[in-house]
Structure 1
Amino acid sequence: MSLYRPPPDPEPPQIKEEQEEICISHEEEPLVLKEETETFIKKLLKCDTCGKNFQYQSKLNRHLRAHTGEKPYFCVTCGKRFSQMIHLRKHIRIHTGEKPHPCSICGNKFNDMSAFKSHMRIHTGERPYSCSTCGKSFSQMIHLKIHMRVHTGEKPYPCDMCEKRFTNLINLKTHIRIHTGEKPHSCNICGKTFRQNSTLQTHLRIHTGAKPYSCSACGKRFSHIKNLTTHSRIHTGEKPYTCSTCGKNFSQDLSTMKSHRRIHTGEKPYICSSCGERFSWKSGLNFHLRIHPSEKPNHCST
């Protein structure tokens, strides 16, 4: 695979190593001329835009591209452009599949050193990036930046279809599937599809019977963390959901309180298909169906 290379930046002049030049001032004090000369050269190689100093012209030229936006190196496969050759070389590995940095613990391979170092923190447990507000720590800087939006309230990713906003791009992409109807994650056992991989993994427990969440008080196990949280309130007595009309508290989720509110609203969403009578709760409809001979729920044919 060939790479386009623009004319190289001029390399710094090769300075022959010499003994340090010493001269004597009028006050008989030795002066180190070479050190002063090097300092003077560094001051000359200064970025006019941000004031940063550079020792070599090639490094200054490379830095200037950050201000000009110039990207002289491009990929001959996809045309993507880069400001530095090292970034192009890393990119090329996407096309070649080269992954020169293997993990000696799990065998995973990575195409650049930064991704490899980030991966190693999974094994070491290192979390060098911590939140200054709540102290929570993270293995990657990007995860800390996303977390900080919890405190700042920043939601920089808006949905173009409903204007709902999100703290990170992954959540936005997942949300957009509500509008598009896309469900790219399918169960290989029953074929049911899901918008999120995490939802698929939860669904698979129906088939496997896995119950990874256990109650620390009684040992009962659950397939979903939500069910464990609700169950734990039996032991703690917590009732976090309150009816705004009568003040009654509930330990279960909002769907339970929604059912309770029908006492106040008079809503009757369950309809008998035979006579049209309406009921506030499903249990009321099921009891009513027994008056219709053709719909007795426990009718015996013998």
Structure 2
Amino acid sequence: VKYMHASGQLCDYSSPLHSSLVKHAASHITKECITCAICSKKFKTRATIKTHLRVHRGEEVMYKCESCPVMYSQKFNLIKHLASKHQCDADGRPLTQSLSCPYCAFTTLADYKLKAHIVRRHTVDKPFKCNHCTYATTEKTALAKHIRTHTKERPYVCETCGFHAPTLSSLWRHRRSHTGEKPFECEQCGQQYADSKRLRDHMYKHNNVKPFMCHMCGYTCRRKDNLQVKPKK
């Protein structure tokens, strides 16, 4: 199914899901964005910028895990936490069925993780391209994050020590260096991490998963940066 503008002009976007089509249609509605005066990030609604401004003010987050003392400013981040740490969905139902990527060895219990993996790793069409290098992505937010590696912009500030972070997630990781908090725990061995990505890499070892592959020689590894230091044949 493709989306047609009110003017009758056909858009290139297509999706088999009606919900995805409705969401995409909203992107064609001309609406003035609201810009954060602190970091210049743009938002489409006042509700989303209010949530964002709490980060700059260092205010308490809203969404709390009922099983452990972790809290998040966005509900989706809580959903990700519930799936990775407690293996359940937002309603507390257990995630029991392992889902496999049809293109590589990646596996996960969470449906949203599999969808995100396929889009990021296996989607050929990447419309958001960097003007500074060859980087391209399927996500506008990922491009904005990447561009900061060129501009060296660090708009997120730690209220404790003044440290400037390039992304919101890196600010949260930095804050844990002050609190000593390690909310991400391996269910198999109890190892704890301050960063969910480190837990993910750790879980790859347990499951013997190597999701990153060199397309020139077939070498596989658990971390993307290891492709740059792969052993010579």
> Same fold by TM-score, threshold 0.5 exceeded?
no
- Structure 1 or 2, whichever has the larger Rg, is 1
TM-score, with structure 2 as normaliser: 0.41
Higher normalized contact order (CA 8 Å, seq sep 6+, divided by chain length): 2
